[in-house]
């Protein structure tokens, strides 16, 4: 039997990837627009003119760009604080565990112990958990046979308070356990256990 367990104090970034990690940060926009605003506002002062002609249009544009830069700075600070909050470990430190054995898959988490006998599982897979949560997580998914009971509202190890953040896959598989930090050896052992005990049910 394979047994995996996590303490619940692991930071999400240790086993998840931010969804907006590939987006440009507002800090970048602030760095781009602030010098441009300064250029538009202060260069005309050195031209020796009264602000007429083409230079008369530069300063109003500078004010608009400055307002935009301040807005970007505000969003950058807000984004940084939000990221710091979301990157914190579960404040309750709730541990969770996954057991894969010859008779069933067992998960233990904040909602208690849940057992999924192999005869009630049509498919089992390890894939990304579809959700609108700030982080992308990988988890063990199952597709239950008809009459097997209701699937869990949230997988073991789910630290986000909104179960509505989870999205049901078109294949009908549901996540039953979030995979916390794992070594390469543990990943291989999990795949081997699912193949061995799943008897061809693993996708």
Q: Any idea where the domains of the chain sit in the sequence?
A: 2-11+90-198, 21-86
99 is written with which tokens? Answer: 């057991």
Predicted confidence at residue 147, as pLDDT, reads 82
As a whole number, mean pLDDT of residues 100-128 equals 94
As a whole number, mean pLDDT of residues 119-130 equals 93
As a whole number, mean pLDDT of residues 113-132 equals 92
Q: What are phi and psi of 110, to 5 degrees?
A: -60, -30
139 is written with which tokens? Answer: 């988890």
Mean pLDDT of the chain: 80
Q: Give the helix/strand (H/E) hosting 81.
A: helix 55-86
Predicted confidence at residue 47, as pLDDT, reads 55
- Lowest-confidence pick of 85-89, 116-120, 121-125: 85-89
Burial class (CB in 10 A: 0-12, 13-18, 19+), 48: exposed
Residue closest to 121 by CA, chosen among 78, 162, 174:
174
Give the list of residues 6+ apart from residue 201 with CB closer than 8 angstroms, or none: 118, 121, 122, 123, 124
* DSSP 8-class letter at 120: G
199 pLDDT higher than 90: no
CA distance 117 to 102: 9
Count of CB atoms within 10 A of residue 5's CB? 12
Predicted confidence at residue 170, as pLDDT, reads 82
| Predicted structure pTM score | 0.68
Three-state DSSP class for residue 186? helix
Q: Are 13 and 201 in contact (CB under 8 A)?
A: no
CA distance 11 to 137: 12
Q: Are strands 2-6 and 121-128 parallel, antiparallel or unpaired?
A: unpaired
- Lowest-confidence pick of 26-35, 67-76, 162-171, 175-184: 26-35
As a whole number, mean pLDDT of residues 113-135 equals 91
* DSSP 8-class letter at 122: E
Per-residue model confidence as pLDDT tens digits over 19-61 = 765 455 665 667 666 776 676 666 655 555 455 555 566 667 7
Predicted confidence at residue 20, as pLDDT, reads 65
Q: If pLDDT is split at 50, 70 and 90, which confidence band does 74 have? A: confident
As a whole number, mean pLDDT of residues 150-164 equals 80
138 is written with which tokens? Answer: 């990988």
Q: If pLDDT is split at 50, 70 and 90, which confidence band does 117 have? A: very high
13 pLDDT higher than 60: yes
Predicted confidence at residue 143, as pLDDT, reads 92
Q: If pLDDT is split at 50, 70 and 90, which confidence band does 99 have? A: very high
Compute the radius of gyration of the chain from its Cα atoms. 26
Burial class (CB in 10 A: 0-12, 13-18, 19+), 135: buried
Predicted confidence at residue 82, as pLDDT, reads 62
């Amino acid at each position: 039997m394979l047994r995996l367990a996590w303490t619940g104090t692991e930071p999400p970034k240790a086993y998840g990837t931010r969804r907006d990690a590939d987006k440009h940060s507002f800090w970048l926009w602030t760095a781009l627009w602030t010098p441009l605003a300064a250029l538009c506002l202060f260069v005309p002062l050195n031209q020796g003119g009264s602000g007429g002609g083409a230079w008369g249009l530069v300063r109003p544009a500078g004010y608009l760009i400055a307002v935009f830069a301040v807005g970007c700075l505000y969003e950058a600070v807000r984004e940084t604080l939000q990221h710091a909050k979301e990157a914190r470990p579960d404040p309750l430190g709730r541990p969770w565990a996954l057991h894969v054995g010859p008779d069933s898959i067992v998960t233990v988490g904040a909602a208690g112990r849940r057992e999924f006998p192999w005869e009630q599982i049509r498919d089992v897979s390890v894939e990304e958990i579809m959700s609108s949560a700030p982080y992308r997580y990988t988890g063990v998914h199952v597709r239950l046979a008809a009459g097997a009971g209701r699937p869990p509202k949230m997988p073991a190890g789910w630290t986000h308070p909104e179960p509505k953040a989870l999205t049901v896959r078109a294949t009908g598989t549901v996540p039953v356990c979030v995979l916390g930090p794992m070594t390469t050896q543990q990943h291989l052992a999990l795949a081997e256990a699912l193949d061995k005990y799943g008897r061809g049910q693993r996708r």
